[in-house]
Amino acid sequence: MSPEYTKPVPVPQPESDHYWEQAKSGKLVFQKCSDCDSVQFYPRILCVACSSRSLDWIESSGKGTLFTFAIAHVPPHPGFREDLPYITAIVELEQGVKMPSQVIGIEPDPDLLHIGMPLEVVFEEISESISLPKFRPAE
């Protein structure tokens, strides 16, 4: 981690090691239940739809749409002060799961952001072991 990175850094857990390892190599993955076909974010040891412990990892296309957003004008943590204003979002991936993230590569202007607008994943390296999946407007 660069010494000047002052934002919170994810601490992977046994059930999320694979998620973060894949993110580090530029892949966005999530779980799919092999019993009921439900997809879920975030990684767990059981399917929240049917309680099955039989889960597979599948790779996201990296494409999704903006489900909702907010624009932070006050830093909720000192590490975000220099980023203000920034766009937080919930993104709905093509395969149906929703995940928290940020939208980057667009002005933080509510008139430019539309619910349902197409987005694509980009990975921002924040440490030796962690790359954060973020989203930018898709072509």
Partner 1 sequence: MPNLQRLKNLSGSASIVGVAESDSLGKVPEKSPLALHSEAALNALNDAGLQLSEVDALFTAGWSTLDVAEYLGIQPRFTDSTSVGGSSFVIHLAHAMAAIAAGYCEVALITHGQSGRSDRAPIPRNPGAPMTQYEYPYGIIGPPISYAMACRRYMHEYGEDRTRQAMAEIAVSTRKWANLNPKAYFHDTPLSFDDYHDSRWVAWPFHLVDCCLVTDAGAAIVVTTPERAKNSRKGGISVLGAGEGHDHSMISQMPDLTRAFGRNTGPQALEMAGVKHSDLDLTMIYDSFTYTVLVTLENLGFCPPGEGPDFLADQVSAPGGSFPLNTNGGGLSYTHPGMYGIFTIVEAVRQLRGEAGERQIDKHELALAHGTGGLLSSTGTVVLGRS
Report the interface residues with partner 1, using CB under 8 A: 7-13, 16, 41-42, 67-77, 79-80, 83, 85-86, 88-90, 98-102, 110, 115, 126, 132, 134
From partner 1, Zn ion, none, interface partner of 47 (C-beta below 5 to 8 A by class): Zn ion
From Zn ion, partner 1, none, interface partner of 33 (C-beta below 5 to 8 A by class): Zn ion
Half-sphere exposure of 92 (CA within 13 A, CB side): 9
The dihedral region occupied by 116, where left means phi > 0, alpha psi between -120 and 50, and beta the remainder, is left
CB 119 within 8 Å of CB 103: yes
Kindly list the residues in this chain that would bind Zn ion in the complex (CB under 5 A): 33, 35-36, 38, 47, 49-50, 52
